[in-house]
Chains A and B, each alone.
Chain A
Amino acid sequence: MMFPFIKEAMTNLFSRPSTENFPAQPVAAKPNYRGRISYDPEKCVNCGMCVKVCSPAAITREYKDVEGGQEITYHFDLTSCTFCGTCQDFCEEKAIVLTDDYLMFAEDPKDLIVSGTRFKEKVKGKLSCGEGCVYCGLCARNCPQNAITVDRATKTWTVDHEKCVQCGKCIEKCPKKVLSFAEPAPEGVILGPDCIYCGLCARKCPVGAITVDRPSKSWTIDREKCVQCGLCVKNCPKKTLSMGPIE
């Protein structure tokens, strides 16, 4: 044969071009492609593992005090991200997902920051009256729930904690500014009586705060390390762990 390539040339002449007609026909990313991060603040429990494991420090957390609580904002800087997916792997609540959206470009790099804000309600303690009360009764008169009773004659000030809705009206009206909400008792994980020392909580804890020793039947928690993510409570097979005020 004189022209061994002629067959190849003819097939190529009539075959379709290998060029992807990209902007006209969008191409789907391959399976398991790690693209733009999506963050669901509703699922997030603010354990902070993603911030800890992020190697280029692309994830930042911001706290802002607002009325009645705190706003917790997570920023995922895609101009800093390596798209390694470690945050997604460590997120037990699956709040972080690396989607298959690969078209990430912007004229302003700020457009490439993915943010999500979550509101965390501040827990208030019980209402109490301090020193300097003149028993004027203004608090009782302004209480919408009639939870406060003031007796000027006997100089007593009492509050029904069952009725109190912690609206703070009495604190506003108090002329002496002696009313206040007590600091709430610190919350944490509490061990109930049904523990079988299986150690699932210790294995699930993202920060390794729990140590369980089966032979000696001991369950200890490092309150300094605990981020109160609630994973241990969720994974306890005996449902004996709970969140609550600790002494």
Chain B
Amino acid sequence: MIKKAIANSMQRSPWLYHVNTGSCNGCDIELVACLTPRYDVERFGFKLAGSPRHADIVVVSGPVTSQSKERLLRTLEQVPKPYCIVTLGSCPQSGNVFKGSYSVEAPIEKFCHVDVAIAGCTVKPEAVVAGLYRATEILKAKREAMNK
């Protein structure tokens, strides 16, 4: 029963860890805007975690620069499984206007599986809320598959 209670509360409080891999800050601002009273993702239990070791959902923004690629992979290794990766904006998916640059390693799909890709440049906070909510559903399915 305690296990069930823990699983239920885990489902209701997915903690976010935000990795900026060379983003222009546009998507980062929109993610932070989601935590403000106007959009208030804490209604769904989302909370920014200070360490990847506490995270359930990893939010990645930016076109994955060569400098940050190593850091991104190291961060992802520290996240306890199961976890979801959500990308913000066009940059992690394709490199956006930076594609083809010597210092850009996008797309992020080369290094890890992306669960939800939110498009936009920048993303609209409503789209972030909807995308993160979709990620919690995927996370639930992953947990159930893992506990079987």
**A, B in one complex:** yes
**Residue ranges of A at the interface with B (Cβ–Cβ < 8 Å):** 17-20, 22-23, 27, 29, 33, 35, 55-58, 77-83, 102-107, 109, 112
For the complex, give the distance between the alpha carbons of A58 and B94 in Å: 9
Least distance between A78 CB and chain B CB atoms (Å): 5
Residues A56 and B138 in contact, CB atoms below 8 Å apart: no
Which of A18, A57, A102 lies in contact with B38, CB distance below 8 A? A18
Within the complex, what minimum Cβ distance (angstroms) separates B105 from chain A? 15
B1 to chain A, nearest CB (A): 31
CB distance from A111 to the nearest CB of B (A): 9
Residues of chain A lying within 8 A (CB to CB) of residue B96: 56, 80, 82
A22, A77, A109 — which one has the most chain B CB atoms within 10 A of its CB? A22
Residues of A within 8 A of B126 (CB): 20, 22, 27, 102-103
A-contacting 9-mer, from B7-15, B54-62, B74-82, B116-124: B116-124
Is B70 interfacial (CB 8 A cutoff)? no
Residues of A within 8 A of B49 (CB): none
Q: Check A57/B40 contact, CB under 8 A, given A29-B124, A81-B90, A109-B117.
A: no
Least Cβ distance of B63 to chain A in Å?
Answer: 11
- Which residues of chain B have C-beta atoms less than 8 A from A81's C-beta? 90, 119, 121
Q: Is A112 within 8 A of B121, CB to CB? A: no
A20-B38, A22-B129, A56-B96 as given contacts; A83 in contact with B116, CB under 8 Å: no
Given A19-B38, A19-B39, A22-B39: A107 and B119 interface contact (C-beta under 8 Å): no
- CB-based contact B93/A105 at 8 Å: no
Per-residue interface assignment for chain B, residues 94 to 119, with 1 indicating a CB less than 8 Å from any chain A CB and 0 otherwise: 11110100000000010000111111
Choice from B95, B99, B109, B127 contacting A104 with Cβ under 8 Å: B127
Query: Closest B-chain residue to A17, C-beta based?
Result: B37
**Seed contacts A79-B94, A109-B114; 14 additional CB < 8 Å A-B pairs:** A19-B40, A33-B124, A56-B96, A78-B90, A80-B93, A81-B119, A82-B90, A82-B121, A103-B130, A104-B118, A105-B134, A107-B138, A109-B117, A112-B119
* Chain A residue, CB-CB nearest to B131: A105
Residues of B within 8 A of A (CB): 37-40, 43, 90, 93-97, 99, 109, 114-121, 124, 126-127, 129-131, 133-134, 138
Residues of A within 8 Å of B130, CB to CB, are: 22-23, 103, 105
- Report the separation of the CA atoms of residues A20 and B97 in the bound assembly, to the nearest whole angstrom: 32
Of B90, B114, B118, which is within 8 A of A80 by CB?
B90
Closest Cβ neighbor of B98 among chain A residues: A56
* Structural contact, B99 and A56, CB atoms closer than 8 A: yes
A237 to chain B, nearest CB (A): 40
**Residue of B40, B93, B94, B116 with most chain A CB atoms under a 10 A cut-off:** B94
Within the complex, the shortest CB–CB distance from B107 to chain A, in Å, comes to 8
Listed by A's residue number, 20 A-B pairs whose Cβ atoms lie within 8 Å are: A17-B37, A20-B38, A22-B129, A23-B130, A23-B133, A27-B126, A35-B124, A55-B97, A56-B90, A56-B97, A77-B94, A80-B95, A82-B96, A83-B121, A102-B126, A104-B118, A105-B117, A105-B127, A105-B134, A112-B119
By the criterion CB–CB under 8 Å, are B94 and A106 in contact? no
Question: Which chain A residues lie closer than 8 Å to B118 at the CB level?
Answer: 104-105
Q: Given A22-B126, A56-B94, A102-B127, answer yes or no on A107-B37 (Cβ-Cβ < 8 Å).
A: no
Q: Please, which residue of chain B has its CB at the minimum distance from the CB of A55?
A: B97
